[in-house]
């Protein structure tokens, strides 16, 4: 029988905001025969995976670290659903799409949300967050470490210190930072954090690494009103992922765990510091190579630029019949390269170029530069 078209995807270089390309070793791991999710051989792999996640998160002292069976947004939902009770005050830093999404999720948990906004392309003001925290005395303070919609790194340590001093839980979105830069959840005083596998870990989408501090777990175990979501209740997930009994909660996605385990081995073989340096070098090379075509960084302050995701203002060359959406389509169809468009207020004004995980390499930058050169100057 002939293979169907759908089972043979075209070759793509994925330089958008995620997913990124997957290492061949990870693809091979996923093709291994299944084990039962309670098989001792699988449980050993689960132990290894959780241990590697703890190290990568810098969360050795956290009470529970696990790969949640869903994408990054479910990790976000898990943090808010477990740590908020209806009527609780929450302070959320909003500097892009994912801060907005946090507000919506917190509201749906019944929280009274105070948002602290920053211009898109800017960092949150730690002082503004501090005065909101002092004013509303929230149960929870949330922010995004690496805002993928704008390409800005946010001031986590300062804000977390203020939240801790006020006795609030701190929730951190690490979706685009885990695997691309060192994280220190314990040292920063983060109570709940989540990530996703398809960005700097270079695994397929589908899992959300999640980590809860002892204080956060104690709160969930002691809350009288059960967590509204059965699936995301970390006190129930602990029955399987907590390590001791490994009781059935839901069927762990076995092949996806094979992939993540291999992806995390690759990260540790390289070392997170070397990996972070590679992301910075690739992002620097990208800015340098596209500058002659007229692309300029949206984020002016160098220290705020997010190495895995660079937001570029579009040159005047890209307009009218040669508009940005058409140009992205041509990049995809004629050169096999995917890049991201702008979101929200930045739609049509910027491109978002991800150099994440396996793709944070000069070869990727060179391929993009050559393709754009062909499209824009011939
Ligand atoms: C991609 C992303 C998410 C959402 O993750 P999904 O896997 O798409 O659900 C959340 N936060 C940030 C910062 C992201 O980049």
* Any atom of ligand 1 within 6 Å of the Cβ of 196: yes
pLDDT in tens, 59-107: 999 999 999 999 999 999 999 999 999 999 999 999 999 999 999 999 9
In angstroms, rounded to a whole number, what is the distance separating the alpha carbons of residues 378 and 363?
22
Q: pLDDT-based confidence at 316, cuts 50/70/90?
A: confident
In the reported structure, the alpha carbon of residue 248 is separated from the centroid of ligand 1 by a whole-number distance in angstroms of 28
Would you state the pLDDT for residue 3? 59
pLDDT in tens, 100-115: 999 999 999 999 999 9
At residue 117, φ and ψ (nearest 5 deg) are -95, 150
pLDDT at 5 over 70: no
pLDDT at 6 over 70: no
H runs (alpha helix) in 199-349: 214-222, 234-241, 254-270, 272-290, 324-335
pLDDT at 319 over 80: no
pLDDT at 362 over 60: yes
Q: Which atom of ligand 1 is nearest to the CA of 147?
A: 13
Would you state the pLDDT for residue 317? 75
3-state secondary structure of 144: strand
pLDDT at 320 over 70: no
Average pLDDT of 266-294? Answer: 97
Would you state the pLDDT for residue 318? 81
State both tokens at 262: 């291999």
Q: pLDDT-based confidence at 245, cuts 50/70/90?
A: confident
pLDDT above 90 coverage of the chain, percent: 93
Would you state the pLDDT for residue 378? 75
Average pLDDT of 268-287? Answer: 98
Ligand 1, atom 2, lies closest to the CA of 175
* Any atom of ligand 1 within 6 Å of the Cβ of 99: no
In angstroms, rounded to a whole number, what is the distance separating the alpha carbons of residues 253 and 138?
36
Q: Long-range contacts for 269-276 (Cβ within 8 Å, ≥24 apart)?
A: 272/56, 272/179, 272/181, 272/182, 273/182, 275/179, 275/180, 275/200, 275/360, 276/180, 276/181, 276/182, 276/307
Give me the chain's average pLDDT, please: 96
* Any atom of ligand 1 within 6 Å of the Cβ of 68: no
Would you state the pLDDT for residue 35? 98
Would you state the pLDDT for residue 257? 98
pLDDT at 2 over 90: no
In the reported structure, the alpha carbon of residue 151 is separated from the centroid of ligand 1 by a whole-number distance in angstroms of 13
Would you state the pLDDT for residue 23? 96
pLDDT in tens, 119-166: 999 999 999 999 999 999 999 999 999 999 999 999 999 999 999 999
In angstroms, rounded to a whole number, what is the distance separating the alpha carbons of residues 231 and 208?
14
In the reported structure, the alpha carbon of residue 35 is separated from the centroid of ligand 1 by a whole-number distance in angstroms of 29
Average pLDDT of 256-274? Answer: 98
* Any atom of ligand 1 within 6 Å of the Cβ of 73: yes
pLDDT in tens, 172-196: 999 999 999 999 999 999 999 999 9
Domains and CATH numbers, the chain: 25-267 (3.40.640.10), 271-377 (3.90.1150.10)
Would you state the pLDDT for residue 7? 81
pLDDT at 345 over 90: no
Cβ–Cβ < 8 Å for 194, 62: no
Stretch among 44-48, 162-166, 322-326 having the lowest mean pLDDT: 322-326
Q: Which atom of ligand 1 is nearest to the CA of 144?
A: 13
Region class of 255: left (phi > 0), else alpha (psi between -120 and 50), else beta = alpha
């Amino acid at each position: 029988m002939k293979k169907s078209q759908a089972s043979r995807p075209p070759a793509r270089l994925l330089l958008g905001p995620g997913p990124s390309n997957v290492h061949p070793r990870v693809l091979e791991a996923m093709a291994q025969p299944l084990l039962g999710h309670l098989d001792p051989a699988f449980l050993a792999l689960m132990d290894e995976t959780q241990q590697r996640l703890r190290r990568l998160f810098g969360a050795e002292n956290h009470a529970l670290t696990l790969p949640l069976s869903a994408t990054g947004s479910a990790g976000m939902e898990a943090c808010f659903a477990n740590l908020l009770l209806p009527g609780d005050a929450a302070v959320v830093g909003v500097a892009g799409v994912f801060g907005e999404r946090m507000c919506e999720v917190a509201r749906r948990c019944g929280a009274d949300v105070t948002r602290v906004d920053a211009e898109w392309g800017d960092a949150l003001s730690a002082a503004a967050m501090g005065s909101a925290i002092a004013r509303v005395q929230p149960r929870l303070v949330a922010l995004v470490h690496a805002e993928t919609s704008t390409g800005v790194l946010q001031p986590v340590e300062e804000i977390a210190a203020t939240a801790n001093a006020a006795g609030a839980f701190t929730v951190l979105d690490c979706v685009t930072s885990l695997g691309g830069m060192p994280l220190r959840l314990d040292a920063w005083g983060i109570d709940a954090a989540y990530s996703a596998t398809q960005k700097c870990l270079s695994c397929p989408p589908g899992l959300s690494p999640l980590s809860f501090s002892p204080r956060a777990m104690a709160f969930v175990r002691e809350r009288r009103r059960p967590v509204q979501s059965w699936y995301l209740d970390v006190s129930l997930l602990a029955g399987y992922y907590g390590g001791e009994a490994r009781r059935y909660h839901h069927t762990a996605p076995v092949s996806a765990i094979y992939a993540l385990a291999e992806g995390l081995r690759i990260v540790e073989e390289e070392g997170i510091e070397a990996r972070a340096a590679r992301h910075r070098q690739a992002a620097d090379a990208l800015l340098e190579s596209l500058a002659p075509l007229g692309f300029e960084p949206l984020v002016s302050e160098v220290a705020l630029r997010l190495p895995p995701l660079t937001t570029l203002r579009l040159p005047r060359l890209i307009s009218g019949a040669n508009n940005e959406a058409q140009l992205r389509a041509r990049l995809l169809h004629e050169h096999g390269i995917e890049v991201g468009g702008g979101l929200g207020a930045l739609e049509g004004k910027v491109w978002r170029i991800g150099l994440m995980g396996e793709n944070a390499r000069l070869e990727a930058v060179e391929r993009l530069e050559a393709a754009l050169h062909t499209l824009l100057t011939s």
